C-alpha cells in the first residue's frame, strides 16, 4: 500500500508518509568563517569549508501551525480509499547540552500528573517509572523529588563531549492533560530563554528531543477507522554535528540514525528536514502502517525502535513515554 508522491510516482508507504510529513524542515544558515575557530572540536571534528546550522526558534516555528491544526498525513487504505489523518505534536522530552555552563542554576522540570480523577492506566503505568527516572548516571548527579515540578538544584557539569545541560524536560501528564508542543516551548522559554536563540551549532551531539503525535481527526470524516488510532513517538537530534550523516539510499534503507540533513529548496530558501532517527508506536493495529514495501516497513519500525532504545541507554535516560509505548507494544505482541 503506497501513496503517490509529488512528482515521484508511487514511492511512499503510509509509514514513510508519516515520517516525511512530521519531519520539521528548518531554514538553513551558514556559519561565518570568523566563528568557525570558536567551535568545540570534539563536536565538530571535521574540517569543512562551510558549516550549516539552524536556529531553535525556526525549529519551533515549524510546529506552530501543527500545534494549532495538526499535521496532515495522506493515508491509503486497503479498500482503495484515501484520506488525510491529522496529528497534533506534543513535547515528550528534550535535553539540550551546550559548551558553556548555565549562568543560573538549572532545575529539572517535569509536569505533575494533574487531577487525581483523570489518572488513567497511562499515568498509573508511569508512576513506577518516575522513581527510576530520578536515578540517572552519577556522572550527572542530579537530585530530584517525586512530585515533579521544578526540582532541586542540579549542577549537571558533565564531560567535555556531552557539555553542560542547559535544559531538560520530560512529560509525565496523561495525553489529555498536555498542551501542544508550541505552547509547551513557550512555557519553557520563560525559564530557559535561550531556547529561542540557540543554534544547532551551539549544541552538543547529545542534544535531542522526542515528539509525541496523537491523532485527532481525518478528512473526509465518517466512520471510525481503528487502524488510525495509532500514536507515534519520534526522536530528533538537535546538533549540527550530524549534518554530514547523509544517506546513500534515502528511499529504502535509511533506518538507524536518520539525522543526516537532506536539503531541499522552497522558493529562495534552503530547508533542512530533521528526519526522525528513532520511533516508537502505541495502538498499532491492523495493517495500515506495516503493509507497505513487502514487509520492510515492519522492519523499519523495529529498527527505529531499537535505535531509540540504544540512544536512551547511552544517555542513561528513563524516558516515560518511551517506556509506556514500548511496554504497551510488548503486551500487544504477547496477545
> Does residue 149 come out as left (phi exceeding 0), alpha (psi in the -120 to 50 range) or beta?
left
Q: Which cell numbers hold the place of 96?
A: 539540550
Angle between helices 14-21 and 296-314 (to 10 degrees): 40
Are 25 and 62 contacting, i.e. CB atoms less than 8 angstroms apart?
yes
**Rounded to whole angstroms, how far apart are CA atoms 40 and 4?**
43
- Backbone φ and ψ for 44, nearest 5 degrees, come out as -130, 70
Task: Give the SS3 label for residue 160.
Answer: coil
327 CB-contact burial (10 Å; exposed 0-12 / middle 13-18 / buried 19+): middle
Kindly tell me the number of DSSP H helices and DSSP E strands found in the chain. Answer: 8, 15
**Rounded to whole angstroms, how far apart are CA atoms 77 and 292?**
11
> What one-character-per-residue DSSP string does 121-152 give?
HHHHHHHHHHHHHT---TTT-----TT-EEEE
Alpha helices in the chain, H assignment, sequence order: 14-21, 33-36, 56-62, 64-69, 121-133, 181-189, 296-314, 320-334
pLDDT attached to residue 99? 80
Q: How many CB atoms lie within 10 A of CB 253?
A: 12
Walking along the chain (335 residues) 10 residues at a time, the average pLDDT comes out as: 43 88 93 66 63 92 97 90 95 92 60 37 34 31 30 42 89 94 97 94 92 94 80 94 52 43 65 95 87 79 96 95 81 46
pLDDT attached to residue 326? 87
**Rounded to whole angstroms, how far apart are CA atoms 68 and 64?**
7
**Residue in the structure block whose three cell numbers are 574540517:** 47
Are 129 and 171 contacting, i.e. CB atoms less than 8 angstroms apart?
no
Alpha carbon distance, N-terminus to C-terminus of the chain: 26
pLDDT attached to residue 117? 34
61 CB-contact burial (10 Å; exposed 0-12 / middle 13-18 / buried 19+): middle
pLDDT attached to residue 267? 59
**Rounded to whole angstroms, how far apart are CA atoms 308 and 16?**
18
- Backbone φ and ψ for 216, nearest 5 degrees, come out as -120, -45
Q: Distance between alpha carbon 241 and the CA centroid of its chain, in Å?
A: 17
pTM of the full predicted structure? 0.77
Amino acid at each position: 500500500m503506497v501513496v503517490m508522491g509529488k512528482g515521484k510516482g508511487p514511492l511512499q508507504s503510509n509509514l514513510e508518509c508519516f515520517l516525511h510529513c512530521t519531519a520539521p524542515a528548518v531554514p538553513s544558515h551558514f556559519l561565518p568563517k570568523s566563528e568557525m575557530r570558536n567551535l568545540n572540536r570534539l563536536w565538530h571534528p571535521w574540517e569543512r569549508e562551510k558549516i550549516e546550522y539552524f536556529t531553535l526558534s525556526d525549529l519551533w516555528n515549524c510546529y506552530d501551525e501543527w500545534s494549532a491544526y495538526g499535521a496532515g498525513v495522506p493515508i491509503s487504505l486497503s479498500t482503495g480509499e484515501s484520506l488525510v489523518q491529522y496529528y497534533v505534536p506534543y513535547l515528550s522530552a528534550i535535553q539540550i547540552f551546550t559548551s558553556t555552563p548555565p549562568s543560573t542554576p538549572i532545575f529539572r522540570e517535569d509536569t505533575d500528573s494533574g487531577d487525581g480523577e483523570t489518572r488513567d492506566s497511562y499515568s498509573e503505568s508511569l508512576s513506577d517509572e518516575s522513581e527510576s527516572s530520578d536515578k540517572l548516571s552519577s556522572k550527572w548527579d542530579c537530585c530530584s523529588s517525586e512530585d515533579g515540578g521544578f526540582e532541586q538544584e542540579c549542577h549537571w557539569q558533565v564531560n567535555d563531549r556531552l557539555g553542560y545541560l542547559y535544559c531538560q524536560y520530560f512529560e509525565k501528564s496523561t495525553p489529555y492533560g498536555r498542551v501542544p508542543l508550541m505552547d509547551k516551548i513557550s512555557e519553557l522559554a520563560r525559564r530557559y530563554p535561550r531556547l529561542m536563540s540557540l543554534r544547532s551549532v551551539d549544541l552538543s551531539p547529545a542534544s535531542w528531543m522526542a515528539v509525541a503525535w496523537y491523532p485527532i481527526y481525518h478528512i473526509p470524516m465518517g466512520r471510525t477507522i481503528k487502524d488510525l488510532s495509532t500514536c507515534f513517538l519520534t526522536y530528533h537530534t538537535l546538533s549540527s554535528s550530524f549534518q554530514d550523516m547523509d544517506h546513500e539510499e534515502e528511499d529504502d534503507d535509511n533506518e538507524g540514525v536518520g539525522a543526516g540533513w537532506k536539503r531541499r529548496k522552497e522558493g529562495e530558501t534552503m530547508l533542512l528536514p530533521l528526519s526522525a532517527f528513532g520511533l516508537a508506536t502505541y495502538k498499532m493495529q491492523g495493517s495500515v502502517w506495516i503493509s507497505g514495501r513487502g514487509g520492510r516497513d515492519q522492519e523499519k519500525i523495529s529498527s527505529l525502535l531499537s535505535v531509540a532504545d540504544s540512544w536512551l541507554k547511552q544517555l542513561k535516560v528513563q524516558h516515560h513515554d518511551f517506556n509506556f509505548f514500548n511496554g504497551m507494544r510488548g503486551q500487544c505482541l504477547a496477545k
